[in-house]
Structure 1
């Protein structure tokens, strides 16, 4: 199998963004017949192939709404465009990578993801460092990263206060690294037990809290 290509959805828009947002997920669900092909997971977003199913696929939908909330914090939930309409355009400004760089199936195995992390961490950490994001959103993936590895690329959370966007739900944790760096530890956007609005709201609250500390 060939390694999957991931990274910036649109290099120009990401590089010129006032706030660079990086999503880190687990792995790409690739159909059996496509596993031997060279695949760029960002291409589908870049060319609007996912626009038609942006509402029906929870990972796409929540990622879009949460990103929209980060980039448009003054827009309230009821005024956000649908994920398959104007809101979709926010994906062009983000970077999106997976821990496992090889094709996978629909079910993720924690041991396999950790193994992929251990075997590919040098490449993965360099990729994060080169992307130089302001905000990293871990979609239930922070647990695979070693604190010392994050510290090596200047994302040290071990000595940073862990806060929650909502102290009643404890769904979304965040760490203010500096005025220019925010680490968010959220559920994977496909997680069905958190409503779209809650997912959007808690990530937005984490970002607003970070901005208020600048």
Structure 2
């Protein structure tokens, strides 16, 4: 399975990247000032060999501005994890703690600080990280991203099928996917925002930069959820 998956993802990721640029052009979203930010997996071999295979679906990325409008793009999201200072970005910090905790069976108080172990963030290259919108955006997302979801829905579901994740963590994005995932009439299991879809575990989470609970509690809640409900 890993070897087949590796080949499929290697070929499929390039194909989807081309589709992202084509769709952006056909929809009039790209121009001389702005191009898409494709996403997916940085280290495909490590992703295929990881257990569980984890996917995060976030909202959108931002890059630059021209006359107060989003601009930039034409780089791959997963390449960001090679940048020297990427560990300073709060979203990547939180996801790195969760992935580290899941893989090493540790909780928040047992983990090293990401600032002292920056390889934790580079390990995110072995995680599938998608944005619901593939275009550069403002630094804060709109309350309703239905228009962006409608534009990119077919590609998003192609990505979910391609990467075959065991666990999908929706960071403030689950409500857009629920019906199309066939869960419109489903209740979460155990009274929590946890769903089962075939062999996949789906987590309806706040965005990693949420301020509802402490960072440590957020990290531990996700780790405990996966430990309880993921069937190895």
* Shift in alpha-carbon separation, 1:164–1:202, aligned structure 2, 3 A: farther
Larger displacement relative to structure 2 (101-110 or 190-199): 190-199
* Shift in alpha-carbon separation, 1:199–1:9, aligned structure 2, 3 A: farther
Offset at residue 127 of structure 1 (A): 1.0
Does residue 1:6 correspond to 2:33, yes or no? no
CA shift digits 1:115-149 (9 cap, x unpaired): 011122111111111111000000011012241x2
Unaligned runs of 5+ in 2: 1-33
CA shift digits 1:67-98 (9 cap, x unpaired): 1122222x233221222314334312201000
SS across alignment from 1:42? helix
Q: What residue in structure 2 maps to residue 83 of structure 1?
A: 114
Structure number with higher helix proportion: 2
Task: Provide TM-score, normalisation by structure 2.
Answer: 0.75
Task: Provide TM-score, normalisation by structure 1.
Answer: 0.81
CA RMSD of aligned residues (A): 2.2
Number of equivalences = 194
* Shift in alpha-carbon separation, 1:107–1:161, aligned structure 2, 3 A: closer
SS across alignment from 1:29? coil
Larger displacement relative to structure 2 (188-197 or 76-85): 76-85
C-alpha distance in 1, partners of 2:35/2:196? Answer: 36
C-alpha distance in 1, partners of 2:204/2:121? Answer: 23
Q: What residue in structure 1 maps to residue 186 of structure 2?
A: 159
* Shift in alpha-carbon separation, 1:140–1:198, aligned structure 2, 3 A: same
Q: What residue in structure 2 maps to residue 170 of structure 1?
A: none
SS across alignment from 2:114? coil
* Shift in alpha-carbon separation, 1:126–1:104, aligned structure 2, 3 A: same
C-alpha distance in 2, partners of 1:159/1:192? Answer: 27
C-alpha distance in 2, partners of 1:120/1:43? Answer: 21
The one of 206, 210, 214 equivalent to 1:195 is 214
Offset at residue 183 of structure 1 (A): 0.4
**Which structure 2 residues correspond to residues 61-140 of structure 1 after superposition, within 5 A?**
61-73=93-105, 75-84=106-115, 85=117, 86-111=119-144, 113-140=145-172
The one of 35, 42, 60 equivalent to 2:78 is 42
Offset at residue 19 of structure 1 (A): 1.1
Does residue 1:186 correspond to 2:205, yes or no? yes
SS across alignment from 1:137? strand
Q: Is the 8 A contact 2:178 2:184 kept in 1?
A: no
The structure whose Rg is larger is 2
